[in-house]
Structure 1
Amino acid sequence: MKIKIIKKEISDVLSKLQTIAGRKTNLAITTAVLIRATDSGINISSTDMETGFTGFYSAEVEREGAIAINAKMLFEIIKDFPNEEIYINEIDNLWIEILNQNNVEYKMAGMNPDDFPGIPDVENITYFDIKASVFKDMIEKTIFITGITEEKRPHINGVYLEKILEDGINKLRLVSTDGSRLAKVDCEYENALELSEEPGIIISKKGLSDLNKFLDTNKNIKIGYNNSNFVLKKENETVIIRLLEGNFPEYKYIIDKKEAFSITIERQKLLMMLKRMSIFTSDNFKGVIFNFDKEKLLVSSTNPDLGESKEEMIINYDFDPLEIAFNVRYFIDTLNVIKDDNVIIMLINEKSPCLVEAENNKNFLSVIMPMRI
């Protein structure tokens, strides 16, 4: 293989692939990217056996071939390379040289391209179009909920995707939970989504996090899935995520608003107050107490090892007094992904879940379970 590439055309994609190639697996070859040169350009592939990527890029190909190269070292070389034109040549015994026409030259060991894991065949999938910016927003409003690292349950490590019909409106929905909180976000469509009619699927959160890096455009992308994989297609790039096996818990009963009463609060003021109240929290003392009373909210935090704090806010509250405790980090995470000026907090009693949504944009809903006082 002998090619000439332009630095700016592949430096960005190599940067995005670092999380995939840098993830620990039992196969050393997964730390590499596979570069395959053809008469029309180069294909770059990467996989950690759960998330796969392939993209096509322009290059001057003098000699066709393929080589697997350590992704981290290749990126480090190319990102600081002094010239835009970079030559990559395969020499003897899977070694390669990376050089320019002047005095910069690297020689490094490659890996056997035949050992590189295959990327799944996803040709027989029905896709539909969605704006990249819309899907990016949906991902960011669900993957912020992370579970315990060693947790094996699929609904903790994954995001549930389903197509629903609600009030006569077709929607694509993503749902994420860790057992103590839940986030749901919807995207509405006028026309029926051309997705599989099968039940919803569970997509790995770390896979969606990798995929999210490629949603840096406002153009339309294509998404689809089959029984094994979720697929995103751009003009010249494809990301494939192996689905998680298992059942997602029934969640719709917990997002029911019928019995709750609502309080409208200025989002930024509440967020900053909770950040101040979080100063004395720790792994053992995560909760803060919300005391709702006539026209006011008093939030207090107590940690016998560090100290205590309290702060009062004037709000429009005309219900019975209520004292309820929450993990303050869960509230802060939720308020950070809402962009409206005001949020609506829906409560029933001190033992029931709290629902939080934006005042105007109803596509996102967060559920936070209370803590014992």
Structure 2
Amino acid sequence: MTLNCTVSRSDLMEGLNSLQNITNKRVTLAILSNILIAAEEDGIVLTGTDLEVGLRIKIPAEINGQGILTLPSRKIFEIVRESGSEKITIQETENSWVVISAGLSTYNLAGLASDEFPEFPKFDENNFVSFEAGIFSDLIDKVIFSVANEEENAYSLTNVLFEKEKKDERSYLRMISSDGHRLSIMEKDVVADIDLLTIQEGTLIPKKGVQELKKFCDSRDSVEISFEKEKLIAKDNESVMVIRLKQGEFPQYRAIVNAVQLENKITIERRPFLDSLKRINLFTEDIFHTIQLEIENGKMILSSQNVDLGNAKDIQDIQYDGEPLLLGFNCRYFIETLQVMECDSVDAYINSNNSPCLMKSDRDEGFLSIIMPMQL
């Protein structure tokens, strides 16, 4: 029997949209640019993968013929997006071609047989733990910005380290990221039984996987999570995402945190500080975004200079009674950290002129950021 189904445009659009970032990237196998569409008894199943992240979504549909084939991900998405019809009909013809009918519009689209499409990873249905989806969204929000880019030489830094821990009879999930110049840590207190999560030491989630997991969680109230050998599985009743994990040596982040003494504290209003940094950043060099911070009793003087454009200076009121400090930092690192925080005032700890800066607040529970200094 060949595939023949009619589906709601909005349902199909939502499913195809979720798959676009997974399927529309440069791939060595042409089949990976396609979406696998399977018409089953009670609906259609859409599957996309780039061999690092796989997503399978079930959508209700009227099934007139069961079948399976693959279609170009971007093109079918564009067809459905531009369609003005509330219903879309997909009917397979010969040699994996399909006729797509949408109101008065008809499209003939060439697909590929499903034989070459990678098999969706198998997993144990009994190892899942249910969480509020917002827990993972918050964890990811607080660390994703400081993951190293793919061109970085340090392989492990292009991933997020994931850990679980029990302390003081409470359970925590933790994500850590670093690009070698800064470190972000976020942990959340959870009520779920994390003993059921089999997380190995040094479990690394690729940046792409973390980004897709956040999208998965953002559109849901709850999510079921499981860790198996070399993969993380997230699912609900209609969808399953499988992310291929990596193992590696992540920097000893606890030693970096412990090296900053929590004594020499600077307290500053977050929003005015962030606005000041954005102004000062207008005159930084494009590559390093270097700014100078001159700190003394009651005030911080921010300054930047660009050899081609000029210079800028800004003054902020602070709470500080320590020795004067003259510091150099990447302005963008401060901006990105402050943007994910929610506090009114932030506490910054700096040991000396050549020390890293640790930032945290009582409002942003579980979060801290460390930014390494730059030579002025």
TM-score (norm: length of structure 2): 0.95
Name the counterpart of 1:219. Answer: 221
CA deviations on 1:211-242 (whole Å, 9 max, x unpaired) are 22222345211112112101111221111110
- Indicate the larger mover: 266-275 or 220-229: 220-229
Query: How many percent of aligned residue pairs carry the same amino acid?
Result: 33
Name the counterpart of 2:56. Answer: 54
Residue number among 343, 352, 362 corresponding to 1:359 in the alignment? 362
TM-score (norm: length of structure 1): 0.95
- How does 1:284-363 map onto structure 2 within 5 Å? 284-363=287-366
Give the conservation status (yes or no) of the 8 Å contact 1:154–1:245: no
CA deviations on 1:120-166 (whole Å, 9 max, x unpaired) are 11226622222112211211211111424322533221000011233
Distance 1:69 1:51 in 2: 18
Distance 1:338 1:183 in 2: 12
Q: Which consecutive residues of structure 2, in runs of 5 or more, have no partner in the other structure?
A: none
How many equivalent pairs are there? 372
Give the conservation status (yes or no) of the 8 Å contact 2:129–2:193: no
Give the conservation status (yes or no) of the 8 Å contact 1:94–1:111: yes
Distance 2:368 2:288 in 1: 26
Give the conservation status (yes or no) of the 8 Å contact 1:155–1:176: no
Relative to structure 1, the CA distance from residue 173 to residue 146 in structure 2 (aligned partners, 3 Å threshold; closer, same or farther) is: closer
Deviation at 1:47, TM superposition (A): 0.1
Q: What amino acid does structure 2 have at the position aligned with 1:105?
A: T
Name the counterpart of 1:169. Answer: 170
Name the counterpart of 1:369. Answer: 372
Distance 1:91 1:168 in 2: 61
Distance 1:23 1:260 in 2: 48
Name the counterpart of 2:151. Answer: 150
Give the conservation status (yes or no) of the 8 Å contact 1:154–1:202: no
Name the counterpart of 1:71. Answer: 73
Name the counterpart of 1:205. Answer: 207
* SS of corresponding position for 1:332: helix
Residue number among 18, 21, 35 corresponding to 2:20 in the alignment? 18
* SS of corresponding position for 1:198: coil
* SS of corresponding position for 1:34: strand
Give the conservation status (yes or no) of the 8 Å contact 2:161–2:176: yes
Structure 1 residue 250 corresponds to structure 2 residue 261: no
Name the counterpart of 1:40. Answer: 42
Name the counterpart of 2:106. Answer: 105
Distance 1:239 1:282 in 2: 41
Deviation at 1:168, TM superposition (A): 4.1
Distance 1:120 1:311 in 2: 54
Deviation at 1:327, TM superposition (A): 0.2
Deviation at 1:358, TM superposition (A): 2.5
Give the conservation status (yes or no) of the 8 Å contact 1:130–1:223: yes
Relative to structure 1, the CA distance from residue 224 to residue 77 in structure 2 (aligned partners, 3 Å threshold; closer, same or farther) is: same
Name the counterpart of 2:281. Answer: 278
Segments ≥4 residues shifted beyond 4 Å: none
Distance 2:314 2:104 in 1: 64
* SS of corresponding position for 2:119: coil
